[in-house]
Chains A and B, each alone.
Chain A
């Protein structure tokens, strides 16, 4: 079970680092709390929607800023507004802050500033995407591993409680599959 403990610790460290670095904020935690047996992949789904949305908006803004004839700042403003809304819904703090900064430049109709901001925004978005995808990969992998290990090492229970949502999901899955959750007597 030592391995599982390590895995847990890694997971906890990783997710707390996301909070520490300001990549996600409390809204993300709230979203994670919404996961239960009825919607076990809620956060992943919302995140994928956000990635799609964000990429589309960034592309649109890039195209708009490339225009030789004249940059349509109104459109850019709208895109930023959208992005700000969705990033705050998912709790992507740094992306949201980048949007706020971007807004001031687009309001001032400063093309150079906008380009710089767009680059910053892309950077923040890539960072967020990487981190979240790693998080999901770890959670899925550890989910499978936990199922196997918990059943194999039936005498021992992990020392620290597993991240709340995953424990809940896994227990429900195990019970639903007809197994039983080992209890230390």
Chain B
């Protein structure tokens, strides 16, 4: 045991100093037995130092009656930690910034989403507006069409009644305007339909040639009045029936030919239809002729008969000249001959692509306007509508239709020379089996008895095939009725066909001139009696003699139904006058019971006239015309209500050929 004296205060201070490190720590020990009155046991009296941070701890001296506590505090206040503050501040600022960025981003996202929703809504509304616009257009057009059709229907009914010539003129003008308006509305509707993608193509079998025939007849009057030649050539390789949309095809052709007719004052309009495969060698042929100095045709003389085209006028596209045409046809024929045993690749495929070109010698399209031609509502010039009519929608619709048919349309045009529009279209091949389903067109088919006949076409510009025919048929572009009669009377020609030449007209004409009718088997005759009647009566001149107006009208009506040209006479005397030789009647229906001169008497006199004329032919002067006509004997048929044998005998006795019963 060692005793020593320590100065506890300084000891503790040293200890604490050692322990405290840098900071000086003040310690106070209190006797806290009496909680309200703390007795200082150790430490300074004055309370200085950092009173904020106090550390209190209990002291146990082992004295049960007394409690002690020790309170430590820093001597000096802790200096403000600038780093901490700055860090905290900076951290705070960074957090703020980040927060702000995130907030900004969130706001942006929300805004973008809102915009997006708004845009979506607007888009829907815009689309709806577009659809509504198309629908509106269609509806309005439809609504306009309804009263328009009513107007046209009424005008048609009006024109059927008795009108004075001024009234008729007014009504016809109104009708023409109405029809033009309807056409315009239809075009607008078509455009709307195309835009809405609602235009659908049919696929039915149809006959190309008959559609071209129809379109030709539509424009034959106009082209004839203008003195413009209109012709169609369909290559032999084009199949008879193809599968496609006949209405739309007709629309395309009508549009192109209509444009040509509108803008052509002289020369020709020539429509050609080939198989598209054959057009390649045609292009090659053109290159050849060009290389071989074919430029002698390039002499820019605008007078006619210089160029080897349909009318002699220069055409815009040299490829379509007579040389390449000849080459093309020869090529087709040679190919056909060669491939009779071997089917060509194209023939076995499902589709047949045709190339159609419409060539005209009109005013052409100015070079600046050429790239705008297929845009809707574009016309070459602002004055075009005024001078030529139309609205400029036709070609854009045509382009859409051609493209819907899987083809392509293009044109070659030279101002003041002409334009040639060409397009390709894909059609399906027609199976043989479906032939029987198709509707036969109204026009007759060329009778098979014509096959093998040959005919010559005499033309100043030899652009046709060579056939031989003893009868003379005049092909006229533009001929008046008087000239026609003169030609016939002078024996210049047996009959006349007005150009454009159509299959149906040729058939009827040849029938009339050659006297070849349809040779059907007996059993088939009864199937379609009206067709037989039509073939018998078509274009025949028939005379109906009856004193009763009602009977005349009924007989004439019945005969006209089958295509006959009927003239009426109200008495035997009038009939005699009309049947003076020479006349052009093919037959005569004669009523028996008529006042003044009855049917028997009239017939007797007519036969007397005829026998006199026949004697003249056989005996004396051999007249050109009469020799051609042969013996005069017009078939006379009696019309009688009482068909008894006695009447029949009487009919035969006076020279009639037969009788028909009344009512007609």
Which A residues have a C-beta under 8 Å from some C-beta of B?
27, 31, 34, 36, 38-42, 45-46, 49-50, 52-53, 78, 81-82, 84-86, 88-91, 140, 143-144, 147-148, 151-152, 173-174, 176-179
Contacts and interface: CB of A to CB of B under 8 A. Distances in A.
16 contacts: A31-B557, A34-B557, A38-B561, A46-B553, A49-B553, A52-B549, A89-B554, A89-B662, A90-B554, A143-B157, A148-B150, A173-B156, A177-B153, A177-B156, A178-B148, A178-B152
Given A36-B561, A147-B150, A89 B663 contact: yes
Nearest to B593: A81
Nearest to B180: A178
Considering the complex of A and B, which 6 residue pairs feature the smallest CB-CB distances, nearest first? A178-B182, A177-B152, A86-B550, A179-B149, A89-B663, A88-B663
A46 B593 contact: no
B595 A78 contact: yes
Contacts of A173: 153, 156
B550 A89 contact: yes
Given A177-B149, A177-B182, A179-B149, A46 B550 contact: yes
Interface string B625-664: 0000000000000000100000000000000000000111
A38 B145 CA distance: 25
Contacts of B186: 178
Given A85-B641, A151-B146, A177-B152, A27 B663 contact: yes
B153 A31 contact: no
A40 B557 contact: no
Nearest to B546: A85
A38 B148 CA distance: 23
A140 B157 CA distance: 10
A179 B548 contact: no
A182 B157 CA distance: 22
Contacts of A147: 149-150, 153
B550 A50 contact: yes
A50 to B, nearest CB: 5
Contacts of B553: 45-46, 49
Interface in B128-154: 145-146, 148-150, 152-154
Contacts of A81: 593
Given A89-B662, A152-B146, A178-B149, 11 more contacts: A27-B663, A36-B561, A46-B553, A52-B549, A53-B549, A84-B641, A86-B549, A86-B551, A89-B551, A89-B554, A178-B179
Contacts of A41: 160
Nearest to A39: B557
B560 interface: yes
A51 B135 CA distance: 53
Given A45-B553, A82-B548, A86-B548, A38 B560 contact: yes
Contacts of B152: 176-178
Task: Identify which of A39, A82, A85, A144 gathers the most chain B CB atoms within 10 Å of its CB.
Answer: A85
B201 to A, nearest CB: 15
Contacts of A84: 641
A36 B157 CA distance: 14
Contacts of B185: 178
A31 B561 contact: no
